[in-house]
Structure 1
């Protein structure tokens, strides 16, 4: 039962990132009209750096796909970690209304990294 619940959590986490990455390419989720001014400025800055959003989108899609596959989940978690840090910083500084959901996803990502720490230890034990 525990493994089925964890699989659903990991699947939803993965789908969220795959969806976010695909939306950066195809823009099928409309941008809300009432975005805070800080978010509007940040989005304008991201548009100025034309290669940044496609790069983040590719990392989100690839990381989401890797995260849902048990064998590659640690790699997906590590790939998505910098994106999650960015999401947390946005919600801590500019858009606090999404902080609870972002914190839940951040905790899931940290849990997977912690759960697979033995796979990362050889990188830092030299």
Structure 2
């Protein structure tokens, strides 16, 4: 049962990431009128760096696709982790009204990471490389 809940959450999380990433390329979601000024300034500053938003969008699409499938979920969590740090810090510092949603998404991400902890531990073990 726990596995089915995690899989369902991962599919929703992956779809959310893919949608956010595609929006960075195609701008099909309207920007709300009531965004805080600080958030608007931050967004404009990020758009000034011409390669940054496409990079974030690509990471969101790739991470979302990887998270949907159980075999690649651990890698997807690593790909999306830096983007999610930015999302959390944005909501903590300039847009606290969206913090609850960001925290829920973080709980899902941390569950994915915890569920795949054995795969990550293999990366941290010191083993001879043969060099």
CA distance in 1, matches of 2:20, 2:67: 14
CA deviations 1:54-77 (Å, max 9, x no partner) are 000000001000000000000001
Structure 1 equivalent of residue 42 of structure 2: 42
Q: Give the TM-score of the pair, scaled to structure 1.
A: 0.96
Unaligned runs of 5+ residues in structure 1 are: none
Aligned residue runs from structure 1 range 1-126, under 5 A? 1-126=1-126
Give the number of the structure with larger relative contact order, counting CA–CA contacts within 8 Å between residues 6 or more apart. Answer: 2
Count of aligned pairs:
126
Unaligned runs of 5+ residues in structure 2 are: 127-131
For the pair shown, the structure with the greater C-alpha radius of gyration is 2
CA distance in 2, matches of 1:56, 1:92: 19
Segments of 4+ in structure 1 off by > 3 A? none
CA distance in 1, matches of 2:14, 2:82: 15
CA distance in 1, matches of 2:13, 2:83: 13
Q: Give the TM-score of the pair, scaled to structure 2.
A: 0.92
